[in-house]
Amino acid sequence: MSGDRPARIPFVPKDARAYHGRAAGIVSRGLAGCIDLGVLFAMMVTVYVGWAALLFAINPPAFRPPVVPHPLVVIGGGILLVGYLTVSWITTGRTYGDHVLGLRVLDRHGRLPHLGLALARAVLCTVFLLGVLWVVFSSHRRSIQDVLLRTSVVYDWHRS
């Protein structure tokens, strides 16, 4: 492979290859986000089941399934989401949803975001989820989070 040419991408349809490196649109981002919400739900269920199993192991005769207050679900889910997004973006530039849709988050230099940038973007994406809708109005397909932090989400089918 030449230093300037990307690796051949045999599993991507020929028509889609022209989009490699271009900014992702709202549909791709939305579908990736839906997949990531499924991942978040699975993580939350895993935490709940683990907590319930621990309570059962400690005192089986008195076991009752734990009741989780709504604010704790929201706050805990937000913390899990921020952690998931941050770790995903600093390690590979993509969450599982991004991987499925062939997307990658990059900083203004076209590199993976560093910890501070990924964390700031994760917090903004979690707190202000509707900011992604700005992609529809942006000529450069950038969300509010992308504009504020100078990041971008591009189609990238290279292996992580």
The pLDDT score that the predictor gives to residue 8 is 55
Evaluate whether residue 119 is within a structural domain.
yes
In this predicted structure, the answer to whether residue 6 has a pLDDT above a threshold of 90 is no
Q: Over the stretch 69-109, which tens digit does the pLDDT of each residue have? A: 999 999 999 999 999 999 999 999 999 999 999 999 999 99
Number of domains in the chain: 1
* 79 assigned to some structural domain: yes
CA atoms within 13 A on the CB side of 147: 13
Q: Does 160 map to a domain?
A: no
The answer as to whether 2 is a domain residue is no
Range of the domain at 52: 19-155
Percent of the chain exceeding pLDDT 90 equals: 74
Strands (E), the chain: 103-106, 152-155
The reply to whether 9 falls in a domain is no
The model's pTM? 0.85
Asked whether residue 12 is domain-assigned, the answer is no
Predicted local confidence at residue 157, as pLDDT: 80
For the segment 126-142, what is each residue's pLDDT rounded down to a tens digit?
Answer: 999 888 889 999 889 99
Which of these, 35, 102, 124, 43, lies nearest to 93 by C-alpha position? 102
The verdict on residue 11 lying in a domain is: no
Q: Name the CA radius of gyration of the chain, rounded.
A: 19
Residue 134 lies in a domain: yes
